[in-house]
Copies of this chain bind each other. A is one copy, B any other.
Amino acid sequence: MHTILSSPSKTVTIGSDQPFAIIGERINPTGRKIFSQQLRNGDLSRVEIDVREQAEGGAMLLDVNMGAPLADEAALMTRAVKLIQSLTDLPLVIDSSIVEVLDAGLAAYQGKALVNSVTAEDERLDAILPLVKRYDAAVIGLPNDEAEIPEEPARRLELTRKLIRIATEKYHIAIEDIVIDPLAMPVGADTLHPTRTLETIAMIRDEFGVNMTLGASNVSFGMPDRHTISSAFLPIAMSHGLTSAIMDARTPQAVRSVKAADLVLGRDEWGASWIAGYRARQA
Contacts and interface: CB of A to CB of B under 8 A. Distances in A.
Interface size class of A (residues with CB under 8 A): 35 or more
Nearest to A224: B278
Contacts of A261: 232, 236
Nearest to A232: B260
Interface in A224-283: 224-225, 228-229, 231-233, 235-236, 238-240, 256-258, 260-261, 263-266, 268-271, 274-275, 278-279
A219 B235 CA distance: 15
A198 B235 CA distance: 13
Given A240-B239, A271-B223, A275-B224, A229 B198 contact: no
Given A228-B257, A256-B228, A191 B263 contact: yes
Given A236-B236, A266-B192, A231 B257 contact: yes
B265 A236 contact: yes
B225 A256 contact: yes
A238 B236 CA distance: 9
B198 A260 contact: no
Nearest to A272: B191
A187 interface: yes
Contacts of A258: 232
Given A191-B266, A229-B264, A232-B257, 7 more contacts: A191-B271, A195-B264, A195-B265, A195-B266, A228-B256, A228-B260, A232-B264
Interface of A: 187-188, 191-192, 194-195, 198, 219, 223-225, 228-229, 231-233, 235-236, 238-240, 256-258, 260-261, 263-266, 268-271, 274-275, 278-279
Closest 5 CB pairs of A and B: A232-B260, A194-B264, A224-B278, A232-B235, A236-B239
